[in-house]
Amino acid sequence: MVRFGIIGLGKIAHKFAHDLAMVDGVELRAVGSRSLDKSSAFAKAYNVKHHHDSYEDCMKNEEVDVIYIATPHVFHHSLTIQCLEAGKAVICEKPMGMNSKQVQEMISLAREKNLFLMEGLWTRFIPGVKKALELINKGAIGKVKHVKADFGFYVNPQSEGRLTQKNLGGGSLLDIGLYPMYLCNLLLGKPDQIFAKAEIVNGVDRRVNMIYKYGDASGTLYSSFEHKATVEAIIQGTDGILKMHEPFHHCSRLTLTDNHGEAQEMNVPHQGEGYYHEIEEVRDCIHQGKVQSDKVSWDDSLALHAQLDEVRNQIGLFYE
């Protein structure tokens, strides 16, 4: 039995806890919040044995093997370091850090402590995404030439939530822009060049446009808090087109169209909220004594965060 703890008990933590209850061989043993009322209510909702009014007490709980960090971005680095120092394996919500330097520090400590660490890029484990990769690897659309992906929804720039606050790592890039970037990495690898432009409001990005260039292939990627986007991915190849329907980052429907216009639709459902499959991966890695996942490796996270650094440099987005 792999025993989980959760620190940071917001909306995503609820989804994660819901799915964790569906997975065999795991148990949610403890939760931690800065509010005792919040941790108590969360524990009651998911039948959790221990609830703590501090993150530190949850980390120190001897009945916990791995901790899921679901706090705002800016706390991911320090909390991961503390968890690893406390001897706990970690699955940290994306983005794992605020920059590549932080991510490298987290990985270095996990390596030193011989502890499992993974960035919570749940997209990689979604059955629809795995099916898309399988089709492409089998040559269903020939050679991939272009990836088009966007993610957007409206956020009031005057709101006081984490999405608009610079001191909480706000902006569309870190919250949702990394999904199109990650998909491009999955399909085409590290880009040779990145070009980025953005609209910055109150110190955080409202909209980011990116072009990835790869020799004879390319990607056009977009994230926005200005409006609802299609949240689809269109993968164009020499022999056809594969569409990952909304929401592409945890899609359950694909459409494969060949060069003659013949279309084939595929339904590929996921379990629960979609975190089920990520939790299975963490469970299996820990049972196997791995310190990292083969599917979301430390190198994968370092590559993604190097690209995030490059985009931020180009658009003039800097966090303290």
Domain(s) labelled CATH 3.40.50.720 in the chain stretch across 2-121+275-294
Q: What DSSP designation does 173 have? A: I
List, by residue range, all CATH 3.30.360.10 domains of the chain: 127-269
Contacts 24+ apart (CB under 8 A), 62-65: 63/3, 63/29, 63/30, 64/3, 64/4, 64/5, 64/29, 64/30, 64/88, 65/2, 65/3, 65/4, 65/89, 65/286
Residue-by-residue pLDDT tens, the chain, 320 positions: 999 999 999 999 999 999 999 999 999 999 999 999 999 999 999 999 999 999 999 999 999 999 999 999 999 999 999 999 999 999 999 999 999 999 999 999 999 999 999 999 999 999 999 999 999 999 999 999 999 999 999 999 999 889 999 999 999 999 999 999 999 999 999 999 999 999 999 999 999 999 999 999 999 999 999 999 999 999 999 999 999 999 999 999 999 999 999 999 999 999 999 999 999 999 999 999 999 999 999 999 999 999 999 999 999 999 97
Superfamily of domain 127-269: Dihydrodipicolinate Reductase; domain 2 (3.30.360.10)
pTM to 2 decimals?
0.96
CA distance 303 to 150: 20
For the domain bounded by 2-121+275-294, which CATH number is listed? 3.40.50.720
